[in-house]
Every structure is written in C-alpha cells, then in structure tokens.
Amino acid sequence: MRAGQVNAVQAALEDHTGRLDWPREQIEHYRTARLRALLSHARERSLFHARRLRELDPSTATVADLASLPMMTKQDAQDEWDSIVTTRDLDRERAERILAEQQWFSYTPSDEQVFSSGGSSGVRGVYVWDWQFYVSAACLAWRIQTREERRAPVRSPSRLAVLAAGIPPHASTPLFDVPTAPGMETVVIPAGAPFDEIVAAVAAARPTHLVGYASVIGRLARAALAGDLQVRPVRVSTNSEPLLDEDRHAIDEAWSATIHNLWGSTEIGVQAVGCGHGEGLHVCEDEVVLERVDDSGTPVAADAPAARTLATGLANRTFPFIRYDLGDQVTLLPGTCPCGSAFVRVADIGGRRDDDFRYGTKTVPASTFRYVLGADPRVSEYQVRQTVDGAEIFAVGDPDVPRLSSAVAAALRRQGLSDPQVRIEVVDHLQRHQASGKLQRFIALR
C-alpha cells in the first residue's frame, strides 16, 4: 500500500510541477472549481458542514463568499468529529482504536490514514487523510524541489535523510519520506532521539538532501560548523516549526545549501513552500484558500495587519476543513518572485501567536527571547517556560549563564516588566513531544 501511494505521488508530481508555471488567471480558475467541488461534497456528506453551508450555493460560490461562513476552530474539529467526517465506516471511536493499535502507519479498508497531533497547541487532535489528500499534500511538499532538481540535477546517487517523528501517530514521517529523484534512497531518523545519536545517524546516511524539523536541522548545521558532522547536503527542506533566523544562517554558513522552508499543518497538509530563490513562501493556492482576517473573522486588506489566518483545504474530502483557524499570523509579500511563479507569497511564519507570553496586561512577544538567545553562538538550542514573574530557560550548549540571564532580563524590562526573574539551566538535550517529535519552543503559563 505504501509503495503504491508513493508511486501515485511520483506520477502526480508531473502535473504539480507544471502548475508552478501557471498564470494568475489559470490559478484562480482552477481554485474556484476546486472550491465549488469541495463545498458541494461537504454539504452533501457532512452534517457539520451542511449546517454551516445551508445559506451558500456551492455551484456559484467564490473565495469571497467564504467570508459569510463562521470560523471553524480546533475545538470544533474535535468536538464535532463524527458529524464532520464524510465516510460512513469511520468515526472518532474507531479512529482512536486505529491510533492505539497500529504499529506503523496503517491504512483503513477505505485507504485512509489516521494521525494525531497537538503537542504545541494543547488541544489534542485526531485527523484522517484519504488517499488523494495524501497524494496532494506530498506533491505540494515536494514539487518545488522536484522542479529545481530537474533544472539543475544533483550528484548521483542521491540520499534523503528525513528528520521526523519516526513513528506513529504524527503525519510528518509518511509525508516527507518520499523519494523524488530516480534512484533516491531515503532514511528516517527520529528527531526526538538524543542529539549525539542523530548526528551519528546523519553522518552514516551521508545525505545529499535533508528534510525535517527546523530546530533539529539548525542544530545539525551548528554541529557541522563545529567540525562534529561531516556531510554536504545540497538541498535542505525545513518544516513543522518556525525557521528562526539563527537556524537559517547556520544552515547557509555550514553548507551553502538551497533552503526550502515549508509551512504546513496536519489539518490542511501544506499551506506554503519556499522556492529558494526569493523571499518568503509560495502559497499553494491551487489546493488551499487562505484568508487573513481580524478577530471577528472578517477578511482584511492585503496591506493591513491580520489577527489570524483561516484555511480551507481543497483536497481533503474525508475530513473537510473550511475556514479553519490555523492559529498563525501571516503577512503577504508584494511583487513578483525571482523564480517567476505567479503564486502569491507570504513572509516566513514567525510562529504561532500563542508563543507570546502575557504578564497581566503586558504581552511579551516570543521574539524578545529569540533575539537574545538566538544571537548567542554558545547556545545551540533552547526552550523558554514562562513563570509568574519572568522565565525559566533550558539551554543546550555552553553559555555564560550570568551574562545571558542579565541580557534576557534587560530585554524583558524593555517590554515593560519591572523586575523580571530569569533562571537559565544548561542541559544536554531538550525534551521533545513524545508522539510528534516536535520541540515546543515557548511554553506559556496556563
């Protein structure tokens, strides 16, 4: 089953790479047709969406008409699971049983896969991907890299190291463990393993291509700069976490490799991917509708700030997400990308708005910590936990703790905290989410 699905991805990549050259008119025409098909299917097969879509005619709907619908939240998706899913032989109870019993990424009799995530949001989610949705998501994740490989083939044989969760129930492993060039070998390396084991596994794999969590690849790049890892990847794809400036700079300095950053989610699949030529990420407009909105869910102008981003995934017919609150803020980029693509671009995702800490009436953005901790060359990785009057920081590396504590406290005072208390503990490694392998960089008080 897995081999069949991977072959389906490789076949569909022919179509998907061609879409990257579509003009705006063709992108919008295709997106509208896909949206109408999704809305028709969801209203017919999903009780939850039938209620939401009762005043909307799917046969004439446009992207602008989505604004008449209420937002869909993560809590809605979990509370209304059985009324959202469109296949009769799958419900939440059976999905949970599949998750509990599967030893690997298994398929239902209807060729669906069930995943779970939620380590960063606090709301555990259970999701189902049908066969075509997986094929679409994998193509969106890999089509830009595939196009670039065809324009400038890399040395053969090519080897892909996938730094992902490694085991169920998270979707990252089957999504990224996809050979995209003839003869490419792949190896999955669990991102949650001790870092010395990750370094050894990557060294043994001798990858020409790296894909995985941004923080892990950033740390590997710093290991390479320190002389502890001898590999020379020519292409790097980061995902699942914000690609921080310090990680991007380390990757560039260590390998001078083309970086394709990806913004995705288990709910929607892949929302946007960087081309490696211009700034930001190209929105996958042929398969995803993104709406930048204010707090009430009303769309805002392209040059106006937005409180949140709503996404409608056009490929998942089994568990439709329509006007779903992603919990991210995005900024549209003007102008044409040097790569020539007509797909809209957004700036690199800086992180969830939930990363910000709130102390009474004062909000301290996550960037306050990033700018201090990320600039310290003696800190290879960090995690920040909010405390009542400051923060507890776990740092991997060999920092000057008194100096760094003072610098963080000074940055917090600039944000309005009168007497911030900062404690830094140096650790060998950071604890990642057991199921997903993700690192929750900022942990706020509940």
SS (H, E, C) the chain: CHHHHHHHHHHHHHHHHHHCCCCHHHHHHHHHHHHHHHHHHHHHHCHHHHHHCCCCCCCCCCHHHHHHCCCECHHHHHHCHHHHCCCCCCCHHHHHHHHHHCCCCCCCCCCCEEEEECCCCCCCEEEEECHHHHHHHHHHHHHHHHHHHHHCCCCCCCEEEEEECCCCCCCHHHHHCCCCCCCCEEEEEECCCCHHHHHHHHHHHCCCEEEEEHHHHHHHHHHHHCCCCCCCCCEEEEECCCCCHHHHHHHHHHHCCEEEEEEEECCCEEEEECCCCCCCEEECCCCEEEEEECCCCCECCCCCCCCEEEEEECCCCCCCCCCEECCECCCEECCCCCCCCCCCEECCCCCEHHHCEEECCEEECCHHHHHHHCCCCCEEEEEEEEECCEEEEEEEECCCHHHHHHHHHHHHHHCCCCCCEEEEEEECCCCCCCCCCCCCCEECCC
pLDDT at residue 122, rounded to an integer: 41
Q: Do 78 and 19 belong together in one domain?
A: yes
What sign results for the dihedral spanned by CA atoms 280, 138, 248, 20? negative
Asked if the model's pLDDT at residue 379 lies above 90, the reply is no
Least confident interval from 31-45, 128-142, 230-244: 230-244
pLDDT at residue 349, rounded to an integer: 81
Write out the two tokens for 2.
């897995």
pLDDT at residue 129, rounded to an integer: 97
433 compared with 397, residue with greater pLDDT = 397
pLDDT at residue 121, rounded to an integer: 45
pLDDT interval class at 351 (50, 70, 90): low
**Largest Cα–Cα distance in the chain?**
64
Structural domains in the chain (count):
2
301 compared with 329, residue with greater pLDDT = 301
pLDDT interval class at 33 (50, 70, 90): very high
The rounded distance, in Å, linking the Cα atoms of 141 and 164 is 14
Share of the chain above pLDDT 90, in %: 67
**CATH code of the domain covering residue 434:** 3.30.300.30
Asked if the model's pLDDT at residue 219 lies above 60, the reply is yes
The rounded distance, in Å, linking the Cα atoms of 390 and 309 is 29
Q: Do 277 and 375 belong together in one domain?
A: no
Asked if the model's pLDDT at residue 336 lies above 60, the reply is yes
Q: What is the mean pLDDT of the chain?
A: 90
Q: What is the CA radius of gyration of the chain?
A: 22
Among 348, 365, 385, the domain-final residue is 348
Q: Do 128 and 186 belong together in one domain?
A: yes
Q: Do 318 and 364 belong together in one domain?
A: no
Give the mean model confidence (pLDDT) for residues 301-315: 92
The rounded distance, in Å, linking the Cα atoms of 391 and 373 is 13
Per-residue pLDDT tens digits for 158-195: 999 999 877 788 888 999 999 988 889 999 998 877 78
pLDDT at residue 434, rounded to an integer: 57
Instruction: With CA atoms as reference, report the closest residue to 154 among 210, 200, 204, 198.
Output: 210
The rounded distance, in Å, linking the Cα atoms of 384 and 394 is 7
What's the one-letter identity of residue 335? G
Q: Do 284 and 320 belong together in one domain?
A: yes
Among 314, 348, 382, the domain-final residue is 348
Asked if the model's pLDDT at residue 119 lies above 50, the reply is no
Q: Do 401 and 315 belong together in one domain?
A: no
Least confident interval from 14-18, 90-94, 217-221, 301-305: 301-305
Among 348, 369, 399, the domain-final residue is 348
Q: Do 406 and 271 belong together in one domain?
A: no
Asked if the model's pLDDT at residue 124 lies above 70, the reply is no
Per-residue pLDDT tens digits for 69-114: 999 998 899 899 999 999 989 999 999 899 888 888 889 999 999 9
pLDDT at residue 212, rounded to an integer: 93
Give the mean model confidence (pLDDT) for residues 33-52: 98
The rounded distance, in Å, linking the Cα atoms of 117 and 170 is 6
pLDDT at residue 112, rounded to an integer: 95
Give the mean model confidence (pLDDT) for residues 261-276: 95
Q: State how far the alpha carbon of 412 is from the alpha carbons of 362, 382, 406, in Å.
A: 11, 17, 10
What is the number of other CB atoms lying within 10 angstroms of the CB of residue 256?
9
Q: Do 5 and 57 belong together in one domain?
A: yes
Write out the two tokens for 159.
């080897």
Share of the chain above pLDDT 70, in %: 95
156 compared with 13, residue with greater pLDDT = 13
Q: Do 371 and 320 belong together in one domain?
A: no
Give the mean model confidence (pLDDT) for residues 374-400: 88
Q: Do 132 and 152 belong together in one domain?
A: yes
Give the mean model confidence (pLDDT) for residues 371-388: 83
Give the mean model confidence (pLDDT) for residues 238-259: 91
**CATH code of the domain covering residue 23:** 3.40.50.12780
pLDDT at residue 123, rounded to an integer: 53
Asked if the model's pLDDT at residue 312 lies above 90, the reply is yes
Give the mean model confidence (pLDDT) for residues 15-41: 97
Q: At what angle do helices 214-225 and 245-255 cross, to 10 degrees?
A: 40
Q: Do 179 and 246 belong together in one domain?
A: yes
User: Which residues make beta-bridge pairs with 185?
Assistant: 159
Q: Do 119 and 181 belong together in one domain?
A: yes
Q: State how far the alpha carbon of 3 is from the alpha carbons of 212, 247, 270, in Å.
A: 21, 34, 21
- Domain interval for residue 171: 1-348
Write out the two tokens for 431.
């604890």
43 compared with 96, residue with greater pLDDT = 43
